[in-house]
């Protein structure tokens, strides 16, 4: 059960080139996660402790996981991902054991990047009620904090957490020596959307009339994940028409399909 709740990749194949529109976030990630892994002696010379944990926050599908994977690629590190919301649900009574297991595995496989997605599931502000489930979540968080505090940042393990609800996080998590670096990963602006579209159409056969700037303009509120879905759907429309090249019209249909679905889901959630 321990291993099935983790995703482990020896050296992910994602690089910074696969990430569109997040130049500032890439630079900050290089400084706070990559540099301590690659050149820990620089921090020693300067006489400061490198950040232990970095928190990425932003809407779903904006590239948080991609960024974490790209660091692992760049540093030849093992990428270890856990989704906090999943293991709280599935492994009642196992949360703290799992946290311990993740850190043990990271030490074994170092250099390693530990990526904890949806951390708010175990690190929401202390709940008022105290059902046994809440106490279990509490124990899981305490174990995570204990692991981070006890852990000598020797520069061979980077810890990244992600959330789209930074407002509900327990402040204990954000204290110095824990996740004390916070990087916002926003929904892309028009230029960012264009960069992301270039990445996801790189291997596609497009007709001459395809205008990525125009698609970026039309795909309002689209995340990186939405833009990827738009490219795939456009390809499916082309195939349905019996074509091997994807046209602007196919993209227009795809925008309609992907963003309508998206907006409907959002409306249902609220």
- Other beta carbons within 10 angstroms of residue 124's beta carbon come to 17
Minimum CB distance to ligand ATP smaller for 15 or for 76:
15
C-beta nearest to ligand ATP: residue: 224
Smallest distance, Å, CB 242 to ligand ATP? Answer: 27
For residue 65, say whether it is annotated as part of any ligand binding site: yes
Q: Is 49 annotated as a binding residue?
A: no
66 in a labelled binding site: yes
Tell me if the bond preceding 90 is cis, omega within 30° of 0.
Answer: no
Alpha-carbon 34 to chain mean position: 15
For residue 115, which of 1, 223, 7 has the smallest C-alpha distance?
7
Residue 111 structure tokens: 């250099």
* Minimum distance of ligand ATP from residue 35's CB (angstroms): 21
Q: In what order do the strands lie in the sheet containing 112-117?
A: 6-9, 78-83, 112-117, 157-163, 53-57, 179-184
| Annotated binding-site residue? 64 | yes
Least distance CB 40 / ligand ATP (angstroms): 27
Cα 46 vs. chain centroid, distance in angstroms? 30
Nearer to ligand ATP, 65 or 247 (CB): 65
Q: Tell me which residues touch ligand ATP (CB under 6 A).
A: 19-22, 60-66, 117, 162, 164, 196, 199, 224-225, 228
Q: Smallest distance from the beta carbon of 47 to ligand ATP, in angstroms?
A: 34
């Amino acid at each position: 059960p321990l291993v099935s709740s983790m995703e482990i990749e020896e050296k992910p194949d994602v690089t910074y080139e696969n990430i569109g529109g997040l130049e500032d976030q890439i630079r900050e990630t290089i400084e706070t996660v990559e540099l301590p892994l690659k050149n820990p002696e620089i921090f020693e010379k300067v006489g400061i402790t490198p950040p232990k944990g970095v928190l990425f926050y932003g809407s779903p599908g904006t590239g948080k996981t991609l960024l974490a994977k790209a660091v692992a690629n760049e540093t030849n590190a093992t990428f270890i991902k856990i989704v906090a919301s999943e293991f709280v649900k599935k492994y009642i009574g196992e949360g703290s054991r799992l946290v311990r297991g993740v850190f043990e595995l990271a030490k074994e496989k170092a250099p390693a990047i530990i990526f904890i997605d949806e951390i708010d599931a175990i690190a929401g502000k202390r709940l008022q009620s105290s059902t046994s489930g809440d106490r279990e979540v509490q124990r899981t968080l305490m174990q995570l904090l204990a692991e981070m505090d006890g852990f000598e940042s020797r520069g061979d393990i980077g810890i990244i957490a992600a959330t789209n609800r930074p407002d509900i996080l327990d402040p204990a998590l954000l204290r110095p020596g824990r996740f004390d670096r916070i990087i916002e990963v926003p929904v892309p602006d028009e230029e960012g959307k264009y960069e992301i579209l270039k990445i996801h159409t790189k291997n596609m056969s497009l007709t001459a009339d395809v205008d990525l700037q125009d698609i970026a303009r039309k795909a309002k509120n689209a995340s990186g994940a939405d833009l990827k879905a738009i490219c795939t759907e456009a390809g499916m429309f082309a195939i349905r028409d019996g074509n091997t090249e994807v046209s602007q019209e196919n993209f227009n249909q795809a925008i309609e399909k992907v963003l309508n679905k998206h907006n409907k889901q959002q409306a249902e959630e609220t």
